[in-house]
């Protein structure tokens, strides 16, 4: 990306750390910390008059360099220089330092700030008292905010950590406690030496915590920590953790590398969770499950997050990417295998069916922008990492792994992985190392099959022209709008068409099969494992439509046909009104993931076409569409109901509410009116209730919802309420809801949800835009260094589909662009542009469709 950043020299090229001996004393009263570190390692490269480490905002009191070996010697440090723009600490000497083993001892101190990076405080209440604990978040490059180090993933070393902490508080780090004693009324805890690992995986937590514990079949002690009032909600996460560790132990064929595995639910947290080796930290609602208050999708999400972070204990922690360019290798892989683990734990959840909607479809949406990026993204400075903490690194990464898994088959894939982990354990890798290992074991051309998918941005649109006796398929890059680039990229595409094209791989631009078997209706990408979209000629789409009506396709194929038809129509291939006709063949549809797509189709037409008359005209259509499912499911869970039906209920009720189905609105209002505490309403339908009463509510309702929010100690509940509180129709209430964001009623970790929800309210988006501009400085001051910061332009842009807004958007953001915002800004502008184009192109036919359908 142009102007992204200064290229930064890698410090590992001059000094390779082998061991860190760190003593740290954080002081909650003064919000400072003081420490001493001894770094043992190798000076490499040319003799030089300095050794450089990373540091950020640290004060260095003293530094000593000692040469070890046959002739040990003190080397005098003549000048200590903290170079802030490069996050460096430079220790200068008068004499040359020659390659060899050195021991560097540094005394330093620093300040604990509220940003959820480095060492930071988390606030909570217990027995009506405000308290806080201290925790760390070091990925991607925040270890340097706490101690001087070579803060690069390739600089693996062992760590000996000693922490000084208040006497009655829990103190945790990656490894078990080795020794503990009291000194001056404090507790001094020395932890066991860690394995060789990257600095971003180090962690500690100090505070008033309680825990539960279990042991895996292999004898690994797993402990789940939370603040005192939350510890009762750790059972489910703990259980999933134990079973996931057992699963990975078998799957990877390697013992869990540490003696213990801790998990901690932290009240303030930047991302969802962090895989610190042996001490995984979580946002509360990604770990805690309260049987009375946790909705089913959240419970499932907890299982996914736990399985994801524990996969990293091998894939990521034991074997680590060499540099942040390959972040996807960690994250894409973990985002894929979490499905494998959860599928093994809860087969009735049908995780692989959900995978296609939740991972692949969302990746295809982001990757359809010209302002997407390749999975392997150039990263010069780690500050750029948060710009690729996105659906490409995660979801597309997972999707191409999924495709490869299909291509190799489960056994070759697993064996190849085992070989990869064995070969590279305690080391670092690049993407090609994974391909080579899989290639060696499977004897298939993995690198050739995968390379285009990870090094080129975007994905192909496959055009299929199906005639009576021939099939012609061709590929080109898929765009919602083509911003003028010419792409010559070709991808190797596993076509997976029935019979003739079963194992065919399209490598050229176009290919024709003169004959095919006509006994089944032809469909490409069977099971939807390929990362591409298909556009069929309209006579064939008609045949597919009939086959769907006749119940001839499996869930994933039904899902794929609809989403491909819809997304390609958005891009100008075919008309949206034809997709609405196709949708009529889904009248008997009963599977939740397909309904996720259907509700997405309806939602984006409502949102992007953005017109009051159209919205009203759509209501009877939506009500008719959902009626059979609404009748079947109702409001309450039946005994022995299948899992997908439980997931489907809130989707259907939500659609009914938006379509103003009178019975549903009335019932939601009744439930709310008779509710004494949140628990009175099943957590699965609670958000439908809250959102409905807000949309139809007044100042009194607003007050009630705010009171529920401010009184709730559950992070999940507060998020659910944030959607409702920002969802009123009255401008005064919308403004009031936005004003809450900058108060202490909303935690910094939740600001992103509030802003995103406020924009999603069609009565609120203009007000939210004004709010965003006015409060930009506040957002920068409070969240400018947060992972969530880069999302704000997108939250705004995706809710608009007119070019007047585009001008305003550009006018506001252009002058304030930074590397953290640039990518999201461009993506946002492109989203507004294609949405505006789509609206201009198809509004008339869509409006006509609904107007005549009433």
d(CA 680, CA 674): 9
**Applying CB under 6 A, does 389 fall inside the site for ligand BES?**
yes
CA-based nearest residue to 839, from 579, 605, 616, 614: 605
> Closest approach of Cβ 179 to ligand BES, in Å?
31
Would you say 565 and 573 are in contact if contact means Cβ atoms under 8 Å apart? no
The distance of closest approach from Cβ of residue 825 to ligand BES in the complex, given in angstroms and rounded to an integer, is 20
- Residue 750: contacted member of Zn ion, ligand BES, none (CB under 5 to 8 Å, by partner type): none
Q: Please give the helix or strand (H or E) that residue 75 lies within, else none.
A: strand 73-75
Cβ 372 to Zn ion shortest distance, Å: 20
Closer residue to ligand BES, CB minimum distance, 139 or 661: 139
Select 88 or 309, whichever has its Cβ closest to ligand BES.
Answer: 309
With binding defined as CB under 6 A, does residue 569 bind ligand BES? no
Q: Binding ligand BES by CB under 6 A: which of 304, 363, 446, 689? A: 304
Q: Is 288 helix (H, G, I), strand (E, B) or coil?
A: coil
Nearer to Zn ion, 11 or 318 (CB): 318
Choices 271-279, 347-355, 678-686, 827-835; region in contact with ligand BES by CB under 6 A: 271-279
Cis peptide before 140 (omega within 30 of 0): yes
Selection from Zn ion, ligand BES, none that 271 binds (CB < 5 to 8 A by kind) is ligand BES
Residue 236, token pair as written in the block: 């489910």
Per DSSP, what are the bridge partners of residue 177?
A: 191
Q: Count how many residues are written for the chain.
A: 854
CA dihedral (723, 724, 730, 735) positive or negative: negative
CA 317 to chain centre: 18
- Shortest distance, position 23 Cβ to ligand BES, whole Å: 26
Among 63, 220, 273, 391, binds ligand BES (CB under 6 A): 273
Q: Which residue of the set 192, 246, 275, 309 is catalytic?
A: 309
Q: Which is nearer to ligand BES, 394 or 813 (CB)?
A: 394
Instruction: Examine residue 271 and tell whether it contacts ligand BES (CB under 6 A).
Output: yes
Q: What is the CA radius of gyration of the chain?
A: 28
Which structure tokens are listed for 830? 């492109």
Tokens at residue 230, please?
């939350």
Type and span of the H or E element at 645: helix 643-658
The residue count for binding ligand BES (CB under 6 A) is 18
Identify the sign of the CA torsion 278, 282, 284, 290. negative
CB of 323 to ligand BES, least distance (A): 14
**In the complex with ligand BES, which residue's Cβ is closer, 140 or 701?**
140
The two three-digit tokens of residue 473, written as one number? 């398929």
Contact residue for ligand BES among 253, 272, 297, 603 (CB under 6 A):
272
Site membership for ligand BES, residue 839 (CB under 6 A): no
- How many C-beta atoms lie closer than 10 Å to residue 490's C-beta? 16
Burial code (b: 16+ CB inside 10 Å, e: under 16) for 106-120 equals bebebebeebbbbbb
Question: What does the alpha-carbon distance between residue 297 and residue 687 come to, in Å, rounded to a whole number?
Answer: 12
Q: According to CB under 6 A, which one of 331, 439, 617, 717 is a site residue for ligand BES?
A: 331
Could you say which residues in the range 121-180 bind ligand BES, by CB under 6 A?
139-140
Could you tell me how far CA 570 lies from the centroid of its own chain?
25
830: contact with ligand BES by CB under 6 A: no
Q: Smaller CB distance to ligand BES: residue 268 or 578?
A: 268
Shortest distance, position 140 Cβ to ligand BES, whole Å:
5
Stretch that binds ligand BES, among 72-80, 301-309, 444-452, 792-800 (CB under 6 A): 301-309
343 forms part of the interface with ligand BES (CB under 6 A) = no
Q: Does 275 bind ligand BES (CB under 6 A)?
A: yes
CB 53 within 8 A of CB 35: no
Interacting span for ligand BES (CB under 6 A) from 5-13, 242-250, 267-275, 421-429: 267-275
Clarify whether 348 is annotated catalytic. Answer: no
Of 165 and 313, the one with the shorter C-beta distance to Zn ion is 313
Chain positions contacting Zn ion, by CB under 5 A: 331, 334
In whole angstroms, how close is the CB of 138 to ligand BES at the nearest point? 9
Site for ligand BES in 720-749 (CB under 6 A): none
Q: Which is nearer to ligand BES, 200 or 850 (CB)?
A: 200
Nearest 5°: phi and psi at 241? -60, -45
Please give the Cα distance from 69 to 119 (Å, whole number).
35
Residues 352/339, Cβ–Cβ less than 8 Å: yes
Q: Residue 335, interface with ligand BES (CB under 6 A)?
A: yes
Between residues 247 and 769, which has the closer beta carbon with respect to ligand BES?
247
Closer to Zn ion by Cβ: residue 271 or 748: 271
**Alpha-carbon span 162 to 183, nearest angstrom:** 13
Please identify, among the stretches 240-248, 300-308, 557-565, 688-696, the one whose residues bind ligand BES according to the rule CB under 6 A: 300-308
Show contacts of 444-448: CB within 8 Å, 24+ apart. 444/407, 444/408, 444/412, 446/404, 446/408, 448/492
At residue 376's C-alpha, the angle toward residues 373 and 377, to 5°, is 55
Looking up tokens 């690069």, which residue turns up?
Answer: 152
Interface mask toward ligand BES for 787-826; x: CB under 6 A: x---------------------------------------
Which CB atom, from 60 or from 122, has the smaller least distance to ligand BES?
122
Quote the least distance from Cβ 715 to ligand BES, whole Å: 14
Position among 87, 151, 239, 309 found at the interface with ligand BES (CB under 6 A)? 309
Minimum gap (Å) between residue 308 Cβ and Zn ion: 5
**Binders of ligand BES among 626-645, rule CB under 6 A?**
none
Looking at the DSSP bridge assignments, the partners of residue 265 are: 282
How many CA within 13 A on the CB side of residue 746? Answer: 25
Query: In 3-state terms, what secondary structure has residue 343?
Result: helix
Per the structure block, which two tokens stand in for 63?
């530094």
Question: Minimum distance between the CB of residue 277 and Zn ion, rounded to whole angstroms?
Answer: 13
Q: 599: Cβ–Cβ under 8 A, 6 or more apart, which residues? A: 651, 654, 655
d(CA 327, CA 331): 6
How many whole angstroms separate alpha carbon 147 and alpha carbon 499?
61
Indicate which single residue of 12, 149, 226, 305 sits in contact with ligand BES (rule: CB under 6 A): 305
* Coil, helix or strand at residue 590: coil
Q: Which stretch binds ligand BES (CB under 6 A): 191-199, 201-209, 304-312, 423-431?
A: 304-312
DSSP classification of residue 636: S
- Closest CB to ligand BES among residues 285, 496: 285
Residue 718 touches which of Zn ion, ligand BES, none (Cβ within 5-8 Å per kind): none
Closest alpha carbon to 267 in 446, 114, 477: 114
Kindly state the smallest distance separating residue 338's Cβ from ligand BES, in Å: 6
Task: Give min distance, CB of 802 to Zn ion, in A.
Answer: 37
φ, ψ at 50 (rounded to 5°): -160, 155
Q: In which residue are the tokens 């090094």 written?
A: 455
**β-bridge partners, 473:** 464, 511
For the annotated catalytic residues, the residue numbers are 309
Residue ranges in contact with ligand BES by CB under 6 A:
139-140, 271-275, 304-305, 308-309, 312, 331, 335, 385, 389, 394, 787
């Amino acid at each position: 990306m142009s102007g992204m950043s200064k290229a930064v020299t890698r410090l590992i090229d001059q000094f390779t750390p082998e061991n860190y001996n760190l003593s740290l004393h954080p002081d909650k009263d003064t919000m400072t910390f003081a420490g001493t570190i001894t770094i043992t390692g190798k000076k490499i490269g040319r003799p030089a008059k300095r050794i450089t480490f990373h540091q950020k905002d640290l004060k260095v009191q003293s530094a000593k360099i000692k040469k070890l070996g046959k002739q040990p010697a003190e080397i005098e440090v003549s000048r200590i220089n903290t170079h802030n723009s490069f996050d460096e600490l430079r220790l200068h000497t008068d004499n040359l330092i020659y390659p060899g083993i050195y021991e560097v001892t540094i005394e330093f101190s620093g300040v604990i700030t509220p940003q959820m990076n480095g060492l930071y405080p988390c606030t909570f209440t217990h027995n009506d008292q405000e308290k806080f604990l201290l925790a760390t978040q070091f990925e991607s490059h925040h270890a340097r905010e706490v101690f001087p180090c070579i803060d690069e993933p390739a600089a693996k070393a062992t760590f000996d950590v000693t922490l000084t902490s208040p006497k009655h508080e829990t103190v945790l780090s990656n490894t078990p406690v080795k020794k503990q004693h009291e000194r001056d009324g404090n507790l001094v805890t020395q932890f066991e030496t860690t394995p060789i690992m990257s600095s971003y995986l180090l962690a500690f937590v100090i505070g008033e915590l309680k825990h539960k514990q279990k042991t895996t079949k292999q004898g690994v002690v797993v402990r789940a920590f939370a603040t005192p009032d939350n510890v009762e909600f750790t059972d489910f996460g703990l259980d999933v953790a134990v079973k996931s560790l057992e699963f990975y132990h078998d799957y990877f064929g390697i013992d869990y590398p540490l003696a213990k595995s801790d998990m901690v639910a932290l009240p303030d947290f930047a991302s969802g969770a962090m895989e610190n080796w042996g001490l995984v930290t979580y946002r509360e609602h990604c770990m805690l499950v309260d049987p009375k208050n946790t909705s089913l999708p959240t419970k499932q999400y907890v299982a996914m997050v736990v399985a994801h972070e524990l996969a990293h204990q091998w894939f990521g922690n034991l074997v680590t990417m060499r540099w942040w360019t390959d972040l996807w290798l960690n994250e894409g892989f973990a985002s894929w295998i979490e499905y494998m683990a959860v599928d093994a734990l809860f087969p009735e959840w049908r995780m692989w069916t959900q995978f296609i909607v939740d991972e692949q479809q969302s990746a295809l949406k982001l990757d359809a922008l010209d302002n997407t990026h390749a999975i392997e993204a150039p990263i010069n400075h780690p500050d750029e990492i948060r710009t690729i903490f996105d659906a490409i690194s995660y979801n597309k990464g997972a999707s191409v792994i999924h495709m490869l898994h299909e291509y190799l088959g489960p056994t070759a894939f697993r064996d190849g992985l085992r070989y990869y982990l064995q070969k590279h354990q305690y080391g670092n890798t690049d993407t090609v190392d994974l391909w080579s290992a899989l290639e060696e074991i499977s004897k298939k051309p993995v690198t050739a099959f995968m390379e285009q998918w990870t090094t080129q941005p975007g994905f192909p649109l496959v055009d299929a022209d199906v005639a009576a006796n021939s099939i012609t398929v061709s590929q080109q890059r898929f765009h919602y709008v083509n911003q003028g680039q010419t792409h010559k990229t070709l991808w190797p595409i596993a076509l997976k068409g029935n019979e003739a094209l079963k194992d065919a791989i399209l490598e050229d631009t176009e290919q024709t099969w003169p004959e095919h078997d006509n006994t089944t209706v032809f469909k490409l990408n069977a099971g939807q494992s390929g990362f591409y979209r298909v556009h069929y000629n309209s006579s064939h789409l008609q045949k597919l439509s009939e086959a769907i009506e006749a119940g001839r396709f499996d869930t994933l194929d039904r899902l794929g046909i609809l989403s491909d038809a819809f997304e390609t129509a958005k891009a100008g291939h075919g008309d949206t009104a034809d997709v609405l006709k196709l949708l009529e063949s889904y009248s008997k549809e009963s599977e939740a993931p397909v309904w996720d797509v259907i509700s997405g189709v309806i939602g984006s037409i409502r949102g992007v076409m953005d017109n009051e008359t159209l919205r009203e005209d759509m209501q009877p259509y939506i009500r008719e569409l959902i009626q059979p499912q609404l009748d079947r499911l109702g409001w309450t869970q039946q005994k022995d109901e299948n899992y997908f039906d439980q997931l489907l209920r809130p989707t259907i009720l939500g659609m009914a509410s938006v379509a103003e189905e009178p019975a549903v609105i009335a019932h939601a209002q009744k439930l709310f009116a008779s509710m004494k505490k949140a628990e009175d309403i099943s957590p699965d339908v609670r958000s439908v209730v809250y959102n409905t009463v807000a949309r139809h509510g007044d100042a009194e309702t607003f007050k009630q919802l705010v009171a529920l929010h401010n009184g709730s100690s559950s992070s999940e509940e507060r998020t659910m309420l944030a959607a409702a509180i920002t969802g009123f129709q009255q401008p005064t209430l919308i403004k009031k809801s936005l004003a809450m964001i900058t108060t202490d009623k909303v935690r910094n970790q939740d600001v992103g949800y509030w802003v995103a929800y406020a924009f999603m309210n069609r009565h609120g988006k203009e007000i939210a835009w004004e709010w965003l501009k006015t409060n930009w400085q506040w957002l920068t001051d409070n969240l400018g260094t947060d992972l969530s910061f880069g999302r704000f332009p997108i939250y705004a842009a995706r809710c608009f589909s007119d070019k007047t807004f585009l001008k305003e958007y550009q006018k506001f953001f252009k002058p304030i662009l930074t590397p953290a915002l640039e990518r999201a800004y461009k993506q946002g502008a492109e989203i507004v542009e294609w949405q505006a184009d789509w609206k201009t192109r198809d509004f008339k036919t869509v409006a006509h469709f609904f107007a005549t359908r009433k």
